[in-house]
Structure 1
Amino acid sequence: MSERLAPGDTAPDFTLPDADGNPVSLADHRGRKVIVYFYPAALTPGCTKQACDFTDNLDVLAAAGYDVIGVSPDKPEKLAKFRDKESLKVTLVADPDKAVLTSYGAFGEKKLYGKTVTGVIRSTIIVDESGKVAHALYNVKATGHVAKLLKDLSI
C-alpha cells in the first residue's frame, strides 16, 4: 500500500508523456499552483464527467493561478482519443507503470461495490508554488468534485 501524502510534504516530481507523447514535468510548473488529479480510466463515465468539469473551469482555475494535470494509467494514444472525443483542455498524462500514481498514494487497495480491489484511488493533490503539498484529497467523487474544490479553495 502506498503512503498517502499530507500537507507540507514535498510533492514527488515526475515527468510523464501527455496525450501527444510530449513530456510534462511537475518541475515545469514551479511558481504556479498545480492541481494534480488521479483518475482510473479515460473514456469511462465518471472520469469523463470529472475531466469535463475541470475543462469547463480551466479559465477560472488559471486566473486564480492554478494549472491542472490529470494522471491515469492509460497510454498516450487512449488519452488523445479521450481528449479529442470530449474536447478536453486539461493536460492529461500517462502513467502506465503506475509509478507516479503509487508515489502520490493514488494506487492501492480500495473498496469497489463492497469488494476490496487494487486500483487507482480517485485523488486530487494540490501542489503550491514551491512544490509542497497544500491539500491531499483521497477517495474523491467524480461528480461535483471540481465545484467542491472551487469552493474549498475560495475561487
Structure 2
Amino acid sequence: MLETGSSAPDVVLEDTDGQPVRLSDYQGSHAVLIYFMRSTSCPVCNRHVQDLARRRNELAADHVQVLVAVPGDRQEAAAWKAKRQIPFPVLVGRRGTPHEMIGLGRKLFGSMQQSGSILVDSQGIIRHAHGATMPTSGYDTKGINAAVKGLRAHA
C-alpha cells in the first residue's frame, strides 16, 4: 500500500471509454481521490460510492476530483457506471487491476481484493492512503475528511 507523505507513482489506468488516465494529468490543478471498490457487485462499496456522489459538490469546492477504480474489465465497469449513474470517471487497470498497482491486493486463502482510497494532492504527494480487506472498513470517511481539510493548509 502507498504511504501517506510519499510521492504518488504515475499510475496509468483506463476509463470506460478506453482512454488512458494518469495521476500526473491532475498535477498542478486538482487533488485526486481514488476510491477502490472491492467489486462492482459489493453492496457496501456501492453505498460508499453513493456517499461520494452526495459529497461531490463539497469535494469539488476543495478542488478534489473523485475517481472510482474497479477490478473488472472496461465493459463491466461501463455497464455498472451507466446502471448506477455514477457521476465520476470509473477506471480499470490496463494490465492487472488498479488495486494491484497500489498494493491493495492481498493473498488470503487465495486472492482477496481489497477496498480503500488514496488522496493525492495537486503536487503529487499522497495525503491519505487507506486499505481494508473488509469492505465495511474500506471507506475511511474521517481520514478522507481530515486529508481534504489538510489540503487547504497546504494550498
RMSD: 2.4
Q: Structure 1: how far apart are the matches of 2:81 and 2:114?
A: 21
Instruction: Name the SS of the counterpart of 1:21 in structure 2.
Output: coil
Length-normalised TM-score, structure 1 = 0.81
Residue correspondence of structure 1 range 21-36 to structure 2 within 5 A: 21-31=18-28, 32-36=30-34
Residues 5 and 150 of structure 1: CA distance in aligned 2, closer, same or farther (over 3 Å) = closer
Matches within 5 A, 1:136-155: 136-139=129-132, 141-142=135-136, 145=139, 147-149=141-143, 151-153=145-147
- Note the C-alpha offset of 1:150: 5.4
2:123 is the alignment partner of 1:130:
yes
The change in CA–CA distance for 1:142 and 1:18 in structure 2 (over 3 A counts) is farther
Q: Within 2, Cα distance between the matches of 1:135 and 1:154?
A: 9
Aligned residues: 147
Do 1:53 and 1:146's aligned partners in 2 also have CA atoms closer than 8 Å? Answer: no
Partner of 2:111: 118
- The residue that corresponds to 1:107 in the other structure is 105
How far residue 42 of structure 1 moved from its aligned partner, in angstroms, is 1.3
Cα distance change, pair 142–63 in 1 and its aligned pair in 2 (3 A)? farther
Q: Tell me the SS of whatever aligns to 1:145.
A: coil
Amino acid paired to 2:48? Q
Structure with the higher helix share, 1 or 2: 2
Paired position in structure 1 for 2:152: none
Q: For residue 15 of structure 1, what is the aligned residue in structure 2?
A: 12
Q: Is the 8 A contact 1:52 1:86 kept in 2?
A: no
Distance 1:124 1:94 in 2: 15
Which residue pairs with 1:113 in the alignment?
none
Where structure 2 has 5 or more consecutive residues not aligned to the other structure, the ranges are 150-155
Query: Residues 34 and 142 from structure 1, CA distance in 2 versus in 1: closer, same or farther, beyond 3 angstroms?
Result: farther
Counting aligned pairs with the same residue, the percent is 24
Deviations, residues 10-33 of structure 1 (Å, cap 9, x unaligned): 112122221222222111111221
Structure 1 residues 74 and 99 mapped into 2: Cα distance closer, same or farther (>3 Å)? closer
* Map of 1:93 onto structure 2: 91
**Runs of 4+ with >6 A deviation:** none
Mapped to 2, the partners of 1:86 and 1:153 lie a distance apart of 27
TM-score, length-normalised on structure 2?
0.81
